[in-house]
Every structure is written in C-alpha cells, then in structure tokens.
C-alpha cells in the first residue's frame, strides 16, 4: 500500500466524508498540539523530548495508536510541515494500518529557503482549528 500524499484541504474533505470519515492524527509534540490543532484531531507524538530536551522517537507511538484506532480506520496524519507525519505513516504502514495519508504542509506549512510560504498548512488555509487538550483526544503519555 502506498502512503497517500494530500493537502490540508483534501484532509479536511476526507474528515467530512459522510460514508467513511477520516480521523486526523496530529503527531506533533503535546506543546505544539496544545497551542493549536485541526478541529477534532487526536494527538500521539511520534517524537518526544528526553531528559536533556533532545527530540527522540516516542517508544510508545505505535502501541498508543493501535490502542486508539483499528488498523482499518482511515487516518490522515499531520505534523507542523509534513516530515514527522511521513515518518509516522511509515511506522504505521509497517504495523499493518491499511489507509494512511500524509498531510503535506501539515499545520504550519512549509517555507522555501528565502522564508516564503512554499506550501500552505492547515492554519494558513483557514480550516477549523482549536487549542488545548480535549479529553479523549489529547496524548496522556
């Protein structure tokens, strides 16, 4: 199965699909998620900070996602720009998840070397956002 590459707008459309709605899985840090995320998104960070503050792979990522979602669930996976979410898609694909899409541009978009927006993210597209840690969707470690 190939990992689908989609824009934030397509992700939003897939989440609103009346026959098979996708779930947005935000794989950014808890702090990034708290500050703002797509409305309805779940948070399971693919990377976490260790004791020294360095970003390291979350050893519980795969198991946490497997506890929340069946492997047949349609997931759209996003981070800040698309790199961490692509890695998360690869981990979940190897674990047997069947319907995965990487949100290119993520929440914050991507920038070119000059600092100009190369690809708009969810927040720049004006799509629905919320902040905080919604019960049942926030990462609990």
pLDDT digit string (tens) for the chain, length 141 residues: 689 999 999 999 999 999 999 999 999 999 999 999 999 999 999 999 999 999 999 999 999 999 999 999 999 999 999 999 999 999 999 999 999 999 999 999 998 999 888 999 999 999 999 999 999 999 988
Residue extents of the structural domains in the chain: 4-125
Residue from 136, 47, 61, 126 nearest 91 by CA: 61
What's the CATH architecture for 4-125? 3-Layer(aba) Sandwich (3.40)
79 assigned to active site: yes
Q: How far is residue 77's CA from residue 29's CA, in Å, rounded to a whole number?
A: 14
Residue from 41, 68, 46 nearest 130 by CA: 41
CA dihedral over 130, 131, 135, 141, signed as positive or negative = positive
pTM: 0.95
> Which residue in 11, 79, 81, 100 is the catalytic one?
79
């Amino acid at each position: 199965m190939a990992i689908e590459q989609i824009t934030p707008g397509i992700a939003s459309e897939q989440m609103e699909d009346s026959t098979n709605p996708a779930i947005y899985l935000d794989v950014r840090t808890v702090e990034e998620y708290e500050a703002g995320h797509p409305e309805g998104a779940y948070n399971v960070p693919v990377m976490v900070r260790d004791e020294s503050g360095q970003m390291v792979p979350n050893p519980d990522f795969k198991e946490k996602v497997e506890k929340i979602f069946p492997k047949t669930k349609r997931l759209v996976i996003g981070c800040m720009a698309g790199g961490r979410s692509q890695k998360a898609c690869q981990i979940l694909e190897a674990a047997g998840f069947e319907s995965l899409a990487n949100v290119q541009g993520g929440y914050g978009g991507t920038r070119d070397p000059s600092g100009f927006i190369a690809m708009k993210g969810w927040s720049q597209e004006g799509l629905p956002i919320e902040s905080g840690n919604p019960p049942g969707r926030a990462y609990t470690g």
